[in-house]
Amino acid sequence: MELPFAESWKIKMVEPIRKSTREQREKWLKEAHYNVFQLKSEQVYIDCITDSGTGSMSDRQWAAMMMGDESYAGASSFFRLKDTITRITGFEYVIPTHQGRAAENVLFSHLVTAGSVVPGNSHFDTTKGHIESRKATALDCTIDEAKDTQLEIPFKGNVDPKKLEKALAEHADKVPFVIVTITNNTAGGQPVSMQNLREVRAIADKYKKRVILDSARFAENAYFIKTREKGYENKTIKEIVKEMFSLADGMTMSAKKDGIVNMGGFIATRHEDWYEGAKRFCIPFEGYLTYGGMNGRDMDALAVGLDENTEFENLETRIKQVEYLAKRLDEFGIPYQRPAGGHAIFVDASRILTEIPKEEFPAQTLTVELYLEAGIRGCEIGYILADRDPVTRENRFGGLDLLRLCIPRRVYTNNHMDVIAVALKNVFDRRNQIKRGVKIVWEAELMRHFTVQLERL
Ligand SMILES: *Cc1c(COP(=O)(O)O)cnc(C)c1O
């Protein structure tokens, strides 16, 4: 008999988590104005609000922290991090930052100006924010197939080469770079193929443009290339990663994802002019060049995290866990965005709470119901997150309305996945009794989802 799959690690330290009663959760959620961001973490049993900065570090990472060099300038921790990044990506110039959006802020301060057009696959919110706040345009050139939640294709995060070519033909002189997000977070953690990265490179070369990889989940992307793309079956993750970055000019990185640290980020590039340009902004925004917002010990933990998470076994354990949860949802017939992405499951609330009108926010209602059912905290990626149209101030109901269940790295076991799946099934089974949603009683003008106050109808 073939041995079943199991995690590529064992557990050395544990953190207790606590269940609660439905009565307690009713009270807590009411106090939180039906916004799960306003809950205290101890009111949560299984926390799937994000996979960002919520992973468990390994014994090697904790050990590396003890080697942290906290020198203001020239810390050996920086050089260990830099050498690791150069070895893994091939990029020679490295600037640490306190997280991913800070890397964007520093690099884009050098590259993006009013009127710039930045094409790519779906830009992440902060990436888009750092482009739009500079009065520039983020042009989404993702393949159309990404919008169909039920279509199963292996690389649903890809850039559409025709859209990219058109964007470059129309705006060539306004384009400072092309940005490709790996994996495509906004499209549901969907990967981008090597073939697609090669096509993007060729089009960019034709127009003499550089390419940035927004690399928060670059290692997960490499796992999907190894397991789904012809010709890569026998390559190591590190070989695939090297090849991915060989097709780019630089990267911005949120180390809170595939770096498996709780805080951190960096910029890396092969071009001295980008490095020189970004340097000028790192110092005032982040700090001196050899720490850029990070502790020495955190740079050491990140160096080890990058090394560990570009090994197949670690990635396989993670992605198989997300797939495991997806399979459980399949058993119960619960619709989610297909195929399951690398870091999360996006449950299609509009196909479940069909009695609830858009104006009553079905995905937020499902988020509320799942928390009340079992203390599981997901996150609405839907109409509340979409904010209002800046001109008409109407709610934007054009996109998808999803409940995102993010899986932190190396934190939960498949028993927790079973609890999530069954809790969601229980809500799913009584979906026809859920006829009313929620109403906004207070909201901020921008990024309202973090602080919005709601009432149940
Ligand atoms: C998280 C993320 C960022 C921003 O990084 P932070 O560390 O949260 O600032 C940028 N791009 C992508 C694709 C991300 O997932």
Residues 181, 118: Cα–Cα separation, whole Å: 12
Q: What is the mean pLDDT of the chain?
A: 96
- What type of residue is 58? S
Pairing type for strands 376-377 and 46-47 reads parallel
Residue 231 and residue 243 in contact, taking contact as beta carbons nearer than 8 Å: no
Give the model's confidence band at 447: pLDDT under 50 very low, under 70 low, under 90 confident, else very high: confident
What is the pLDDT at residue 134?
94
pLDDT tens-digit series, residues 162-177:
999 999 999 989 999 9
What is the pLDDT at residue 445?
87
Residues 211, 179: Cα–Cα separation, whole Å: 6
Give the model's confidence band at 107: pLDDT under 50 very low, under 70 low, under 90 confident, else very high: very high
User: Which ligand 1 atom lies nearest to the CA of residue 256?
Assistant: 7
- When pLDDT is averaged across residues 33-45 and rounded to a whole number, the result is 98
What is the pLDDT at residue 185?
85
Residue 181 CB–ligand 1 contact under 6 Å: yes
- When pLDDT is averaged across residues 395-411 and rounded to a whole number, the result is 94
Report the Cα 160 to chain-centroid distance in Å. 21
Nearest 5 degrees, angle CA 247-CA 252-CA 253?
Answer: 110
Residue 180 CB–ligand 1 contact under 6 Å: no
What element of type H or E holds 298?
A: helix 296-308
Whole-number Cα distances in Å, 361 to 37, 368, 382, 403:
16, 11, 8, 11
pLDDT tens-digit series, residues 279-290:
999 999 999 999
Which residues, 6+ apart, have CB-to-CB distance to 52 below 8 Å?
254, 256, 257, 406
Of the chain, the percentage scoring pLDDT greater than 70 comes to 100
Q: 398 pLDDT exceeds 90?
A: no
Residue 250 CB–ligand 1 contact under 6 Å: no
**Side-chain-facing half-sphere of 314: CA atoms under 13 Å:** 24
Catalytic residues: 72, 124-125, 214, 216, 257, 449
Residue 265 CB–ligand 1 contact under 6 Å: yes
What is the pLDDT at residue 389?
85
Structure tokens at 43: 């009111």
- Which residue has the least CA distance to atom 3 on ligand 1? 100
pLDDT tens-digit series, residues 108-161:
999 999 999 999 999 998 999 999 999 999 999 999 999 888 899 999 999 999
